[in-house]
């Protein structure tokens, strides 16, 4: 156990780090990094062999207001299954105060995630097909190994990780209320492991909490692959083993008259396939930023490559700097490397501390229209629907304006619409446009939102 002086030393560093205005600055990063290092040293926490190194401070992956204060993802390094941990500002405080003991406890939790072991496996046929859909080349796909935690069960992993914290709680000197909180967390994941709860959970949120409006749902789920040989139920008693692998949309059209609802209610197992794939692509946490962002699409996800790096794919989006101010939202249609029209949104954000303007791709939705099949779809027809008369949008809240570039007679026209966010996180615009400006940019070139001023 560390001495009182050592605890104070760590907590003084955390206090200093918290006083730095920008949690993403080098100054804050250096201080937090030092606190992380000292916690291992003073608390003598053993790092499992799976961890590729000291946890990294990362306030973007683990934002201060997010659900996770830390995250451990399976990864690949030099042909071995490894894990990488990042910690956000939340890992350094308990009950609003700097806490060396809590930092040590969070590290114990994350190390326990890594400690379950990581294996590398070849992608399944379905995943290979999926990656092809995402625009990856055959040569690259051959190199891909998928790292995955050996338990391959998010809930079980959380139970293990919270349990590791409980086992060390007394040694670390955690308070009663902290221990109580950990117990509750463990229980919540434990409950999810029971069959009964699982069934209920699947029925409620078959997509791990990713919400899509009805038209998007089809666009998103449609390209997923159902493996060959999968029994498909048409009604409660009658099933059919798929003679070849089939896309969800193909199957829905072939045997369910395009009724996805019916397909999935009769075949809830399909959702497990998709959920498993999502876990593989995004890491072990069901509460990943991806899953909690309603508009983000599964297909536009990063894929882990053999060298552990991430590849940028059509549909991938970016997280703006923490604490930034959105100056301009700009949506338009764009032809991407998967050969499909996408509706995308670029936000121009003023980032602290200097206030420089950075462009972020915050939204990217693949449409079903192929680039070769004609003109760009209008964003207001596909992704930014009219608020009026739409009963699916509850308690709409005005969140600012959006400039949508629309192709009119071969030239881009910039229309400005008030933008609303519904209770479920989806967005709508209010038609008609309150301003419309014709540009001299041909639709064959990328549109511009015009001048962006802080």
**Footprint of Zn ion on this chain (CB under 5 A)?**
161
Smallest distance from Zn ion to CB 233, Å: 35
Smallest distance from Zn ion to CB 158, Å: 5
- Which C-beta is closer to Zn ion: that of 124 or that of 152? 152
Smallest distance from Zn ion to CB 34, Å: 24
- Which C-beta is closer to Zn ion: that of 161 or that of 344? 161
Smallest distance from Zn ion to CB 383, Å: 33
- Which C-beta is closer to Zn ion: that of 153 or that of 273? 153
- Which C-beta is closer to Zn ion: that of 39 or that of 161? 161
- Which C-beta is closer to Zn ion: that of 13 or that of 118? 118
Pairwise CA distance, residues 371 & 360, whole Å: 23
- Which C-beta is closer to Zn ion: that of 286 or that of 320? 286
Q: For 117, phi and psi rounded to 5 degrees?
A: 100, 145
Smallest distance from Zn ion to CB 113, Å: 6
Token pair listed for 59: 């306030």
- Which C-beta is closer to Zn ion: that of 111 or that of 212? 111
Smallest distance from Zn ion to CB 72, Å: 7
Smallest distance from Zn ion to CB 37, Å: 21
In the complex, residue closest to Zn ion by CB: 161
């Amino acid at each position: 156990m560390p001495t009182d002086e050592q605890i104070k030393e760590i907590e003084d560093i955390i206090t200093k780090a918290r006083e730095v205005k920008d949690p993403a600055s080098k100054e804050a990063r250096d201080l937090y990094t030092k606190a992380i290092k000292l916690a291992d040293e003073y608390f003598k926490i053993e790092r499992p062999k799976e961890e590729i190194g000291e946890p990294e401070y990362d306030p973007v992956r683990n934002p201060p207001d997010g659900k996770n204060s830390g995250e451990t993802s399976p990864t690949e390094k030099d042909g071995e299954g490894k894990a990488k941990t990042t910690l956000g500002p939340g890992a350094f405080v308990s009950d609003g105060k700097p806490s060396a003991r809590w930092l040590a406890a969070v590290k114990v939790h994350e190390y326990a995630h890594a400690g379950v072991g990581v294996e590398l496996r070849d992608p399944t046929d379905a995943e290979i097909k999926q990656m092809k859909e995402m625009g990856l080349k055959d040569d690259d796909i051959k190199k891909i190994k998928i790292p995955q935690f050996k338990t391959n069960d998010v809930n079980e992993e959380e139970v293990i990780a919270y349990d590791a914290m409980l086992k060390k709680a007394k040694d670390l000197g955690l308070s009663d209320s902290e221990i109580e909180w950990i117990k509750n967390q463990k229980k919540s994941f434990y409950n999810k492991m029971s069959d009964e709860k699982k069934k209920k959970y699947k029925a409620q949120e078959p997509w791990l909490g990713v919400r899509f409006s009805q038209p998007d749902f089809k666009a998103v789920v449609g390209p997923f692959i159902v493996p060959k040989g999968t029994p498909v139920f048409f009604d409660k008693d009658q099933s059919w083993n798929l003679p070849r692998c089939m896309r969800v949309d193909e199957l829905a059209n072939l045997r369910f008259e395009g009724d996805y609802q019916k397909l999935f209610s009769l075949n809830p197992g399909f959702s497990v396939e998709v959920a498993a794939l999502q876990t593989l692509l995004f890491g072990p946490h069901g509460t990943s930023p991806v899953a909690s962002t309603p508009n983000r699409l599964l297909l536009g996800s990063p894929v882990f490559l053999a060298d552990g790096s991430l590849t940028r794919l059509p549909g991938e989006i970016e997280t703006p700097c923490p604490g930034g101010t959105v100056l301009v939202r700009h949506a338009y249609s764009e032809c991407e490397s998967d050969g499909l029209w996408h509706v995308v949104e670029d936000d121009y954000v003023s980032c602290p501390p200097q206030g420089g303007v950075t462009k972020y791709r915050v939204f990217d939705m693949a449409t079903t229209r192929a680039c070769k099949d004609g003109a760009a779809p209008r964003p207001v027809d596909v992704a930014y629907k009219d608020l009026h008369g739409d009963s699916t949008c509850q308690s709409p809240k005005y969140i600012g304006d959006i400039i949508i570039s629309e192709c009119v007679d071969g030239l881009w026209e910039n229309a400005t619409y008030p933008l609303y966010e519904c209770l479920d996180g989806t967005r709508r615009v209010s038609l008609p446009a309150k301003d419309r400006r014709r540009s001299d940019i041909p639709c064959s070139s990328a549109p511009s939102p015009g001048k962006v001023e802080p």
